[in-house]
Amino acid sequence: HDTSSSSTGMLLWVQVGAWTYHYSDKGDYMWEQARNYCQTFFTDMVAIQNQEEIQYLNRSLPYHKSYYWIGLRKLDGVWTWVGTRKALTKEAENWAQGEPNNRRSNQDCVEIYIRRPQQAGKWNDEPCTRRKKALCYLASCQPFSCSQRGECVETIGSYRCECYPGFHGPECEHVVQCAKLEPQGVSMYCSHPYGDFSYNSTCEFGCHEGFERRGAAVLRCLPSQEWSANTPTCTVLSAPAQGELNCSHLHGDFAFGSTCAFSCQKGFALVGSESRECTAMGTWTGDTPHCEAITCPVLSAPAQGEMHCSHLHGEFTFGSTCAFSCQKGFALVGLQSRECTATGTWTGDTPHCEAFACPVLSAPAQGELNCSHLHGNFTFGSTCAFSCQRGFVLMGQETLECTAMGSWTGNTPHCEVPRLLLEVLLCSCSPSLPGAQSSRKRRDALFPPPWQLHLWLHVCLLLPEGVCSDGAGKP
């Protein structure tokens, strides 16, 4: 770059192309005074945009022991570029080591170290009342920059244009072009603010006598080089879908004075004008009507069940059918499917799901029964617990559950008198009986309550197998 500097009174400046940096040579200012100075004579305080700008400033400006204020200040706790009111991003930070430290909690303004022996070009937070050099800039962007079709962005030595949508080029001098429209059988009137069929061009469409437009009335050229809609067409007035058209003609088909009446098929309702007339202007009165399917009340799946619907003309409208089913363990009560009729009602009544029933259980003799029911007495999911009165024992499962098949998980238990099972010794007689022969046998015996063992004096048990014989073998 061709860089030069000069001094005029208390002002020094460095020029790069059309963008100039300015600073006061003799005067030092508090931050607010420095900004007033910059805004009065120039554009504003310097807003650092990139490392290239920092290097240029550090190379071009002279050293001053008080350094220079820049246009960065803490506002509501956020470091902000005051000229643009944009917050300082993490990527753009250029703090010196250990900064910002906010010493004494009043360092809300920022200086830049120009030609400092250490950390040159870095930033430091300072109290705003300190006096330093004012570092200003004079913008290169002018009102006529970028052809007034984009945003002018300052750069070192020049500026660049960020074009508005619909424009392009270094100075945003070029305009986006859309395809030329050449509709057939349709009248068209266009306005072109930036050139034929270019960005923001608008075209209005109409139809000749006896015809009706199908499509958008107005198309606009978008920044994407596309039109906002497809080119419309003109068609002879026709019956709507699912409807009928009956016309009478006074002066010829679809000419001035012709009238057309519209109606819909069974199960559909007409939305719009019931009749239209061709006027002296060659247009039809009213808007194009259409037929909509008659609606039925919205259905929902039954409790413990599911619903699957198919819709011919829209959700829950004429012709819609809904099929119902139940979850495992439940049976559907009612119709398996319903259909929306032409009168806006459903065939049949609303079905519901009932839990499968199991046989009714009762408490066993000398026992009790306690049941819990999820979906009704003795139905799928019911559980029953059995117990016996004191002095009796339960024979069988303590708990039964009603399954999805309508059966219990086991047989009904019962209560019995308990018996004591012991291994007893059978003998013919006591070994101490004189002249007796002794033979021993073992067997299991059940003793009912009160489980008392009756013993003979010679310890032989009173059982059918017990015998006592003398030495001659006589009992």
CATH code for the domain of 204: 2.10.70.10
Is residue 402 located within the same domain as residue 425? no
Listed residue (204, 244, 252, 199) closest to 226, CA to CA: 199
- The angle formed by the CA atoms of residues 308, 312 and 315, to the nearest 5 degrees, is 60
Is residue 154 located within the same domain as residue 222? no
| pLDDT of amino acid 422 | 46
Is residue 227 located within the same domain as residue 256? no
Residues contacting residue 196 through CB under 8 Å, at least 6 positions apart: 180
Q: Which domain holds residue 315?
A: 305-355
Residues 383, 397: contact at Cβ < 8 Å?
A: no
Of 28-37, 91-100, 204-213, give the lowest mean pLDDT range: 204-213
Listed residue (423, 433, 379) closest to 401, CA to CA: 379
- b/e per residue 99-125 (b: at least 16 CB within 10 A): bbeeeeeebbbbbbbbebeeebbbbbb
Query: Across the chain, what does the average pLDDT equal?
Result: 82
| pLDDT of amino acid 310 | 94
| pLDDT of amino acid 472 | 41
pTM (two decimals) = 0.40
pLDDT at 240 over 60: yes
Distance CA 53, CA 57 (A): 6
pLDDT at 371 over 50: yes
pLDDT tens digits for range 441-455? 444 444 455 544 443
Q: Is residue 98 part of a domain?
A: yes
DSSP string, 448-461: -TT-PPPB-TTS-B
> 466 pLDDT band (50/70/90 cuts)?
very low
Is residue 106 located within the same domain as residue 127? yes
Is residue 267 located within the same domain as residue 230? no
Distance CA 182, CA 417 (A): 105
Q: Is residue 361 part of a domain?
A: no
Query: Both tokens of residue 149?
Result: 């079709």
Q: Is residue 282 part of a domain?
A: yes
Is residue 79 located within the same domain as residue 34? yes
In terms of pLDDT, which residue wins out, 68 or 425?
68
Start-to-end CA distance of the chain, whole Å, equals: 144
| pLDDT of amino acid 21 | 80
Q: Is residue 231 part of a domain?
A: yes
> 157 pLDDT band (50/70/90 cuts)?
low
> 187 pLDDT band (50/70/90 cuts)?
confident
Q: The tokens 């906002």 sit on which residue? A: 228
Q: Let me know if 302 is exposed, middle or buried by CB neighbors in 10 A (0-12, 13-18, 19+).
A: buried
pLDDT at 308 over 80: yes
Distances (CA, A) of 222 to 56, 60, 166, 461: 41, 46, 7, 115
In terms of pLDDT, which residue wins out, 428 or 99?
99
| pLDDT of amino acid 9 | 30
In terms of pLDDT, which residue wins out, 159 or 468?
159
pLDDT tens digits for range 327-343? 999 999 999 999 999 99
pLDDT at 440 over 60: no
DSSP string, 194-205: SSTTBTT-EEEE
Output the domain CATH number for residue 108: 3.10.100.10
Query: Both tokens of residue 102?
Result: 């906010």
- Across the range 255-271, mean pLDDT stands at 88
Helix or strand holding residue 32 (H, E) = helix 31-41
Task: State the total domains in the chain.
Answer: 7
Q: The tokens 């170290």 sit on which residue? A: 113
Is residue 246 located within the same domain as residue 229? no
Residues 137, 39: contact at Cβ < 8 Å?
A: no
Q: Let me know if 320 is exposed, middle or buried by CB neighbors in 10 A (0-12, 13-18, 19+).
A: buried
Query: Both tokens of residue 433?
Result: 């009986």
Is residue 191 located within the same domain as residue 248? no
pLDDT tens digits for range 382-396? 999 999 998 889 999
Of 10-24, 115-129, 214-228, 365-379, give the lowest mean pLDDT range: 10-24
Q: Is residue 8 part of a domain?
A: yes
pLDDT tens digits for range 169-181? 999 999 999 999 9
Distance CA 8, CA 6 (A): 7
Q: Is residue 298 part of a domain?
A: no
| pLDDT of amino acid 402 | 94
Q: Is residue 276 part of a domain?
A: yes
pLDDT tens digits for range 284-299? 888 889 999 999 999 9
Listed residue (167, 164, 178) closest to 228, CA to CA: 178
Listed residue (9, 25, 16) closest to 137, CA to CA: 16
pLDDT at 431 over 80: no
pLDDT at 95 over 70: yes
- b/e per residue 16-29 (b: at least 16 CB within 10 A): beebbbbbbeeebb
Distances (CA, A) of 255 to 120, 236, 259: 86, 11, 9
| pLDDT of amino acid 282 | 67
Is residue 53 located within the same domain as residue 106? yes
- Across the range 209-233, mean pLDDT stands at 87
Residues 222, 228: contact at Cβ < 8 Å?
A: yes
Q: Is residue 283 part of a domain?
A: yes
Contacts 24+ apart (CB under 8 A), 325-329: 326/302, 326/353, 327/353, 328/404, 329/355, 329/356, 329/375, 329/380, 329/381, 329/403, 329/404
Distance CA 118, CA 81 (A): 25
Is residue 84 located within the same domain as residue 17? yes
> 344 pLDDT band (50/70/90 cuts)?
very high
Is residue 109 located within the same domain as residue 42? yes
| pLDDT of amino acid 137 | 84
Tell me the longest C-alpha to C-alpha distance in the chain.
159
Residues 42, 22: contact at Cβ < 8 Å?
A: yes
Is residue 25 located within the same domain as residue 119? yes
